[in-house]
């Protein structure tokens, strides 16, 4: 799976405003609803928040990967957002998260979800790539960086 298949210009954002974990998740869900990627906001939000309650999706190096599974979507929905000020996400390294990768996928579809997470993880494991992402000044610039378009 290539990122360009799952990310579009309207699902990458350099300007997330929320300053809490729950706020970031809700803002990303709301933006996905606004562009027609998610129809049932409440089901998607509940799925992501319930997953977060089980274990934080705050990784390390400023990256968080909030996600959830619900049959209110027919296929994988994904988004990437930045909050350059940083948000406490109960990350593994105790540092605030600045890069947020969200996926919402159907309950029974494992493959695309795992492929997307693997590709994003591979990309963001490199500090130079994280720095390039955080240096983006426009949504278009970030989309091009992530998708190679």
Distance CA 87, CA 16 (A): 10
For the beta carbon of residue 137, count every other beta carbon within 10 angstroms: 8
Let me know if residue 57 belongs to a domain. Answer: yes
The three-state secondary structure class of 58 is strand
pTM of the model as a whole:
0.93
Asked whether residue 139 is assigned to any structural domain, the reply reads yes
Does 53 reside within a domain? yes
Mark whether 67 is an active-site residue: yes
Q: In terms of C-beta density within 10 A (0-12 exposed, 13-18 middle, 19 or more buried), how is residue 67 classed?
A: buried
pLDDT at 111: 72
Domain membership of residue 149 (yes or no) is no
Distance CA 57, CA 65 (A): 5
CA distance linking residue 85 with residue 69, whole number of Å: 28
Q: In this structure, what CATH number is given to the domain that contains residue 60?
A: 3.40.930.10
Rg of the chain over Cα atoms, rounded to whole angstroms, equals 14
What pLDDT shows up at residue 72? 85
Is there a domain that residue 77 lies in?
yes
Q: In a 3-state reduction of DSSP, which class is residue 105?
A: strand
The catalytically annotated residue of 67, 109, 113, 139 is 67
- What domain range includes position 94? 3-144
pLDDT digits (tens, 9 = 90+) for 40-74: 999 999 999 999 999 999 999 999 999 999 988 98
Beta strands in 11-125, from DSSP E residues, in sequence order: 12-13, 63-64, 67-69, 77-87, 97-105
- Quick check: is 18 in a domain? yes
- When divided into structural domains, the chain yields a total of 1
What pLDDT shows up at residue 113? 74
């Amino acid at each position: 799976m290539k990122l360009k298949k799952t990310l579009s210009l309207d699902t990458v954002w350099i300007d997330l405003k929320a300053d809490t974990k729950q706020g970031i998740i809700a803002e990303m869900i709301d933006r996905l609803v606004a562009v027609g990627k998610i129809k049932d906001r409440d089901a998607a939000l509940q799925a992501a928040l319930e997953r977060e309650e089980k274990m934080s999706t705050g990784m390390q190096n400023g990256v968080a990967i909030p996600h959830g599974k619900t049959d209110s979507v027919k296929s994988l929905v994904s988004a990437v957002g930045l909050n350059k000020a940083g948000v406490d996400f109960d990350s593994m390294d105790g540092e605030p998260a600045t890069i947020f990768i969200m996926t919402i996928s159907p309950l029974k579809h494992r493959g695309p979800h795992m492929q997307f997470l693997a590709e994003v993880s591979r990309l963001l494991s490199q500090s130079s790539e994280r720095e390039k992402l955080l240096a983006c000044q426009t949504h278009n610039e970030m989309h091009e960086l992530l998708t190679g378009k």
